[in-house]
Structure formats: C-alpha cells, structure tokens
Amino acid sequence: MTTAQPESQGSMLDTTIEHQEGSGFVRSLLAPFRWMRAYPTLWAGLFLLAFMVLFGIVGSQFVDPELARAGTVEIDLSPGQTVEYRVKGEDRSAFSVLGTDSQGRDVWAVTMLGTPLTIYVGFLAALIGMTIGTVLGFIGGFYGGIVDNFFKSFADMLITVPVLMILVVVAVTLKSSIDVTQQALIISAFVWMWPLRTIRAQVLSMRERAYISVAQISGANTLEVIFLEMLPNLLPFLAASLATAVATAMLTTIGMDALGLGPQNQPTLGNTIYWALFYSAPFRGIWWWWTPPVLALALVFGSLYLITAGLDPLANPRLRRQG
C-alpha cells in the first residue's frame, strides 16, 4: 500500500484518458495527442517555444550576418524596401522586410540572429542554476544540518535582493567585454534559489511519505532512491522550475543588455533594445526597430508562461479538481 505511491500519482495523470478506447498499441501511439488534449496550455507553450527556437535557428541561416553589423546599410529605412550595401568591395542587395535602424543594421537580420542568442543565454543560465539548485535541494532535503541551513538561509536572503543590481556592479567592475556564454555563467549564479526551495520542499515532503523509507529499508542506496524513486516524481516540478528559471534568466539577460552591459558586438534582443533606446527610437516613431525584438521576447516569455501554467496541474494535482 505504501509503495504504491508513485503508481498512484501516475494513474492520477491518466484518469482523464482512461475512458478512451483502442488497442494498447494504438493507444501508446496516440498517447502524446491525448496528453495534448489533457494539457492544452502546456502543449501550446511547448509549441510556441519550439517555433521561436526554430524560427531563429532556421531563419538565421537565410540572412546575411553582415546585415546585422552597424553601418552596413542606409539608416532609418522603413520596412519593405530594397537595400544596397557593400561588403569588402562587393556589392550586395537585400530586401529589408523590417526596415533598418539608426545605426545602419537590418532589423530582420538582427532579430533573426538575436532570438536564438537570447534564448541560448536564458537556457544555459537556467540549466546551470537549476543543476546547482537541484543538487543543493536534494542535499538539503536529504541530510539537513548546517549545510542545508546555510544554503536555505542564503537562498532566502538572495531572493529578496534585486539580482540585476548585483549583476550591474559585477559587470561594470569587471568591465572587460563578455560574450553570451560568459554572461549566462554570471547569471546562473543568481537563478538557483527558487529551484533549491522548490526541490528541497518536495524532497522533504516525499521523505515524510512512507515509500521512500520503504525503498531505503529494502536496501536501495541513496542514489538509487533519488534516481529511481524521487526524480521521476519530481519531473513536473523540475520542468516547471526550469521554465521559471529560463524566464528569470532571460529577464536578467535582457535587463543587463538594456543597461548596456550585455555582450558587445552580438545582436542579442536585449542589445537591440538598448540601441533602440539609445537612439530614442520609441520617441521618434521608428517602431520597426523596437517592435520585432519586443514581440519576439513577448512570444518567448509567453511560451514559458504557458509551459509553467500548463505544468501546474501536474505539479500540484490538488488544483486539478478546481478545473
């Protein structure tokens, strides 16, 4: 009875689909689609995110990176014109879907190249932060003690501090120009707190529940317990934490960029916003400069929000009843 806990959680997820008909094989083939019906928000979020990533990665293959360099094309052209430009003495021309900015860059090219860069920073920082947070959360939840106390208190403190401020000090003091990967590494130092709290709380509550101790008594070692018993149950929490962490990390990276502290010479979405603000684009009505990065960011943030919201009923089955 006590060891049935993991299964019972699994079956809770399946209750919505258990009335479906069909052979086992067909069922398993269709499983993802039934999940889709059961979790439309989650899937909408995942699709949107996948679209944005593909959009950037595939799209950037079709743009001339030169167009994303300042001074390449004529400035302040409104969308839908053909631009002529020279690269190393060679004449080129391109159709400028979204116009050009006040620094002579093509906005379409900048957005295409910038979207995957910004998502990359967000994911890299979040993955590293999540790993730190999860490990600390497991250690804390399992062993408690001084180490747990220290990290828990430290996390609680750091959560109330405006992380952007600390990053500004770091970035300005170090001053040396950073690239996107370095930026992600710096940011990752500040996204582990929420995962730590979430995972630690879950580990503690799972330890309370009998099945973990049953597994321990039956001779499984700690790592087995973690990987075979606990992690599968924690997946929804981990996924939701990751989505939140990515959003936080992206918020931080574009925040740094918008203050002019981002990676130099890389057309991240945040940098585009920085330059648009630097040249007062919103006040001059050059909407085609700021709209694409803002829209791209809104879609990425929106997708992450949908993923988090969609995972909520999986992570907190209690909420499902209110549906």
User: Can you give the binding site for other proteins, defined by CB under 8 A?
Assistant: 153, 157, 159-166, 168-170, 172-175, 247, 251, 254-255, 258-261, 273, 276-277, 282-285, 287, 290, 294, 297-298, 301-302, 304-305, 319, 322
Instruction: Kindly write down the DSSP assignment for every residue of 119-161, as one continuous string.
Output: HHHHHHHHHHHHHHHHHHHHHHHHH-HHHHHHHHHHHHHHHHS
Find, among 187, 194, 308, the residue nearest to 250 by Cα.
187
Alpha-carbon span 107 to 97, nearest angstrom: 8
Nearer to other proteins, 5 or 16 (CB): 16
Nearer to other proteins, 2 or 280 (CB): 280
With beta carbons less than 8 A apart as the criterion, state whether 80 and 97 touch: yes
Minimum distance between the CB of residue 322 and other proteins, rounded to whole angstroms? 6
Minimum distance between the CB of residue 292 and other proteins, rounded to whole angstroms? 12
Find, among 283, 276, 284, the residue nearest to 258 by Cα.
276
Cα 22 to chain centroid, rounded? 37
Alpha-carbon span 44 to 310, nearest angstrom: 9
Minimum distance between the CB of residue 161 and other proteins, rounded to whole angstroms? 5
Nearer to other proteins, 70 or 164 (CB): 164
Minimum distance between the CB of residue 17 and other proteins, rounded to whole angstroms? 14
Minimum distance between the CB of residue 258 and other proteins, rounded to whole angstroms? 6
Nearer to other proteins, 98 or 304 (CB): 304
With beta carbons less than 8 A apart as the criterion, state whether 93 and 85 touch: yes
Cα–Cα distances in angstroms (integers) from residue 102 to residues 72, 86, 105, 250, 276, in the given order: 11, 18, 8, 25, 8
Minimum distance between the CB of residue 23 and other proteins, rounded to whole angstroms? 25
Nearer to other proteins, 94 or 254 (CB): 254
Minimum distance between the CB of residue 287 and other proteins, rounded to whole angstroms? 6
With beta carbons less than 8 A apart as the criterion, state whether 220 and 228 touch: yes
Nearer to other proteins, 4 or 298 (CB): 298
With beta carbons less than 8 A apart as the criterion, state whether 288 and 100 touch: no
Instruction: List, in sequence order, every residue forming a beta bridge with 96; answer none if it has no partner.
Output: 81
Nearer to other proteins, 121 or 225 (CB): 121
